[in-house]
Structure 1
């Protein structure tokens, strides 16, 4: 994957997450600074942070339960330790932090 392809994949992914959050029934705020997307659960103030790691060509997710590194494997991002795809991983960590099931219906 070239740098241009990696940057485009990150951009598409972050936009898709923002769109899913806009449609989500949960009160999850988000803030984006360049390629860092911070999700804040309003009920308890906990955060999940997604960030681009250019040197590794990975997307990292930081949550209360740990840090996760995702590599792009066509057709999407896959966690290098758990094997989860990004939508599954995000739903899981958000549900853990919310204390009840959260589904973003993220279509990547």
Structure 2
């Protein structure tokens, strides 16, 4: 099932806003930059997470120290899911953030479809 362009952009926008909110509320020392649809999260450890939209593929891409990961939106669950491992975006982020900072953040609500 293919997302329309408008729905895809709405989903990515709401996901990026939710990410910003989670990091803002976390108390972690991070710098957030959202420019031209690319959200960059810079940790005080020097590591970063970069979220970008890939409109032609209707995917959300995550660049991390370990490499790039591509996520498709699963309409049934209402969440972003890795196109290779099927791991949910929230699960992967919880793991990466804990690895980078030693802190556990809750990303369970990430990607919940509110439309």
TM-score relative to the length of structure 1: 0.89
Find the aligned partners of 1:91 and 1:101 in 2 and give their Cα distance: 9
Q: Which runs of 5+ in 2 are unaligned?
A: 111-115
Find the aligned partners of 1:104 and 1:40 in 2 and give their Cα distance: 18
Q: CA RMSD in A?
A: 1.4
Find the aligned partners of 1:39 and 1:71 in 2 and give their Cα distance: 21
Q: Paired residue for 1:7, among 6, 9, 22? A: 9
- What's the CA shift string for 1:29-62, capped at 9, x where partnerless? 21000210000111x1111101000111100001
Find the aligned partners of 1:81 and 1:70 in 2 and give their Cα distance: 9
Find the aligned partners of 1:25 and 1:82 in 2 and give their Cα distance: 30
Find the aligned partners of 1:92 and 1:48 in 2 and give their Cα distance: 12
| Native 8 Å contact 2:93 2:107 kept in 1 | no
| Partner residue in 2 for 1:73 | 74
- What's the CA shift string for 1:58-107, capped at 9, x where partnerless? 00001111111000002010011221111111111222223x24314452
| Partner residue in 2 for 1:53 | 54
Number of equivalent positions: 106
Find the aligned partners of 1:106 and 1:29 in 2 and give their Cα distance: 22
Find the aligned partners of 1:84 and 1:30 in 2 and give their Cα distance: 24
- What's the CA shift string for 1:3-42, capped at 9, x where partnerless? 0110110111001111111101321221000210000111
